[in-house]
Every structure is written in C-alpha cells, then in structure tokens.
Chain A
Amino acid sequence: MMIRKITYRNISHSMTRLLLLLTTLLILAGCSSSASVQIDRNFPSVLAKPKPIAASIVLTEEFSNYIAQPNDKTVIDLGSAQVQVMKNAFAGLFNKVEFVTTADQITTDNGLIITPSVREVQVSTPSDNYLNVFEVWIKYNLDIADSSGEPIVSWFMPAYGKTPDAFMASKPKAIEEASIIALRDSGAKLMLDFYRIPAIYGWLREQQRLEQSP
C-alpha cells in the first residue's frame, strides 16, 4: 500500500514537472523574437496610361528568388512578390514591355533595358525604435541602359512600409504587413518618380529629337 502511494506521488510530480516545462516552452515560443516571413499576397495592377516607350526588364534569378535576411532573427522571402510588383509597375510605365531573366534574351531593338536589384533590406521593431510600429525598408537599385547596353543611370529607389504594433499580435505577421506596404510603396515610387529621373528625362528628350530630325 505504502509503495503504491510513493509511486503515485512520483508520477504526479513528473506530470507536474512536464506540465510546467511545456507551459514554459509555450510561453518562450510565444515570446520568440525570430521571424520567418513569406510574402504571398496578390498586388493590384497600376492605374496609369503607359508612355509609348519600349523597355526590357531583366528580372534575374537572384532577384526573382531573393530572400532578405535583415538581421540574425529575421528572414523575408520577397522574391515572387517583388517580381509581381515590378511587372505591374513597369506595365503601367511602358506600352511595350518584355520581361526576361538574362540580358541575352532581350528582343526589343529600341528601348530601355532595366535591371532591378535589391541593395539592402532593413527592419525595425518596437524594441529597436521605441515606437509602436514595425518598419521595413527595401532599398532597390535600378540599372538603366539604352538598347545598345550603354548605361544611362543607376537609380537608387528606397521603399518604406510600416504597420502598428498590436497587443498579442505576432512579430512575423507585423513584419509581413510592413513588407507588403513597402512593396506597394516601391510600385508607387516607381510610378511617381521614374520619368522624373533627370537622366531618363534627358534620354526621352534625345529620343524625341532623333525621331523628329530628318
């Protein structure tokens, strides 16, 4: 009888320890500061009238499969989402546009060759910025050349997104939302500023002059 009692107590203590361990693990998992984010959202087409210009957009394998690691604890898979955003935005800028993966696939004779790349991705969380917002910066670089491959300009295009911190909301979800807003911002920035780049403006003027000259 006595032996049975001791065994029961041992089992009871083991169960309590196991439950405590599991509870601690659950709490620690909830407080985990790492985030792995996959952006799988559809981005809208742009509402714009494209200019009568041809362009070839080189979306390299590296760009299409880009996975950002802004810090040790954060991984953001941006590749397919940024390809969709860029395709939508460039389709709103040029009336004749082709998307290729390498420069040797280009078929357009007279137009721009644009190669986007990601220079850097930065993330800021409420514990970093002491604000109630998660922030994401995606810094793009657009290498723009004419149809002969002669560089016109290398344009730095930063995009920014932020999302408010919410009680009990997960860090990956907040970073995903901020990344989506940053990606949307990259489309907006492209639409707003592309034809304002002085070198592009100059190139367009030159093209018009060449077309008008006998």
Chain B
Amino acid sequence: MKPLCKSVVGGLLLILLGGCSATTTIDEYRPSSQPILLDANEQVVVLGRRDAGHYETDREFIDCVAQRMRGSDISVLPEARFIDAIYPWFEPRTAPKGLPRLKKLMQDPMIKTVVNQQSVRYLVWLDGSTETVEKGGSISCAVGPGGGGCFGFAQWDKLSVYEAIVWDLEELQEMGRLRVDSEGTSYLIGAVAPIPLLTPVKSDACASLGNQLKTFFTASE
C-alpha cells in the first residue's frame, strides 16, 4: 500500500474511533473531603433501586460497579447475598427510600443483627438506566442464493444517567452522592458486511462511577 493510502486509511480509522468515545460527566457531593475509613472487617454493599415504573436499574450494571470498587482494601458484598439475608426488607416494595425509614428498619434487632453479621457498614444505592435517545439512518440486509449483504448507514445516541447515594448503616446518615452522565453515538455501516462501531456508553458510566466511588473509601490503618 502506498504511504498516501496508508495515511488516508489511518486518518479515517482515527476519525471513526474518535467518534466512538463517550462523553462522561461526574458530579459529586460529599459533606467532607476526607475519605470514608473502612475497617478490615467492614464491607460495602451496592444495591440497585428498582421501584421506578418505566425502567429498572439492571443487575449487570450493579455487578460492574461493585467489581470496579472491589480491591485489596475494599470488600464489596454481592447484592443478592445481602438482599437474601435480609429478605423481605430490601425488596422493591419494602426497601427504605430515605434515612427516616432506614432508621426505623435498623431499630429492629433482627435486621440489625443480620447487618452486623454480614459486616456491612456502608450501603451504596444505585439508581438509573441507559437509554437510546436518538436514532437515524437506515440499513437493510438481503440474502439470496447468490449471496447476501447489508447496505446503508445507521446511527444511534445512547445516554446513561446513574446516581449513587452512600449511606452509613452504623451512624445512619448519608455520606455523599454521585451522579454520572455518559453519552455517545454508535454507528453501523453496511458495506456488504455490517461493520458496527459501538460506543461503550454504559461501561464508561460504570467505570467512571466505580472508580469515583472507590475514592470515597479508604482502608483504615
């Protein structure tokens, strides 16, 4: 291939890949700039809010954020293990939506005992969803005895909006909140074979949120 051709192909690839990156914004609120101290025997649990009518904070995203937060100094309890242990008090119908209800729940000695047995000190509520906000273009595929292929161009914008709220289950107070907005456009080019150029909007939101939440906590010496 001639050097000029290589430059053109390289430039096109860079433009296409550049168009496939998500724009992510994180807003953070913390009453104190000091990181939250986590003892060696204390754990964090990440739970999804599932009481909204038109969307569901999906488990895949919760697991992704928990995985991001998990590290040598932060122990994260799986969501299912916590809600099963405390069933039915953290189901969509019964989960506390605010601190007053949480305080009331924690007055129950049975619930308090289970929380202590699970060594859960902090609870992170995640609420949000990823949605396709705009679509454009069209692509059509056809298959015949002589062969087949796809022709056309399609694009769609995805928007991920998630909010995380950190509760201290010992002091029964809010320790901070985070909001992540991630937006990006994906493309599908039909040039005989369909070529997808996908923007990882949701995984970008997960990585940003998980990494930022990780900075909330630090292991005590």
**Contact at B56–A188, with CB atoms within 8 Å?**
no
**Contact at B94–A188, with CB atoms within 8 Å?**
yes
**Contact at A164–B87, with CB atoms within 8 Å?**
no
The number of A-B residue pairs with CB atoms under 8 Å apart is 62
**Contact at A47–B87, with CB atoms within 8 Å?**
yes
**Contact at B58–A44, with CB atoms within 8 Å?**
no
Tell me if B29 counts as interface (CB < 8 A to partner A). no
Shortest distance between the CB of B186 and any CB in chain A (Å):
12
**Contact at A20–B143, with CB atoms within 8 Å?**
yes
Tell me if A96 counts as interface (CB < 8 A to partner B). no
**Contact at A187–B56, with CB atoms within 8 Å?**
no
Tell me if B110 counts as interface (CB < 8 A to partner A). yes
Q: Tell whether A164 pairs with B93 under 8 Å between CB atoms, given A44-B84, A44-B87.
A: no
Chain A residue nearest to B89 in the complex (CB): A47
Task: Enumerate chain B residues within 8 angstroms of A89, measured Cβ to Cβ.
Answer: 88
**Contact at A188–B91, with CB atoms within 8 Å?**
yes
| Interface size counted on chain B using CB atoms at 8 A | 23
Task: Label chain B's interface by main secondary structure.
Answer: loop
For chain A, give the interface size range.
20 to 34
Give the CA-CA distance A164 to B143 in the complex, in Å. Answer: 32
From 71 to 87 in chain B, residues with beta carbon under 8 angstroms from any chain A beta carbon are 84-87
**Contact at B110–A49, with CB atoms within 8 Å?**
yes
**Contact at A47–B60, with CB atoms within 8 Å?**
no
Chain B residue nearest to A130 in the complex (CB): B54
Residues 28-71 of chain A, each 1 if its beta carbon lies under 8 Å from chain B, else 0: 00000000000000001111110000000000000000000000
Tell me if A98 counts as interface (CB < 8 A to partner B). no
Q: Tell whether A185 pairs with B91 under 8 Å between CB atoms, given A44-B84, A133-B54, A164-B56.
A: yes
Q: Which of B55, B84, B85, B92 is the one whose CB lies under 8 Å from A164?
A: B55
Task: Enumerate chain B residues within 8 angstroms of A184, measured Cβ to Cβ.
Answer: 87-88, 91
Residues 110-133 of chain A, each 1 if its beta carbon lies under 8 Å from chain B, else 0: 000000000000000000000111
Q: Tell whether A164 pairs with B58 under 8 Å between CB atoms, given A20-B143, A47-B89.
A: yes
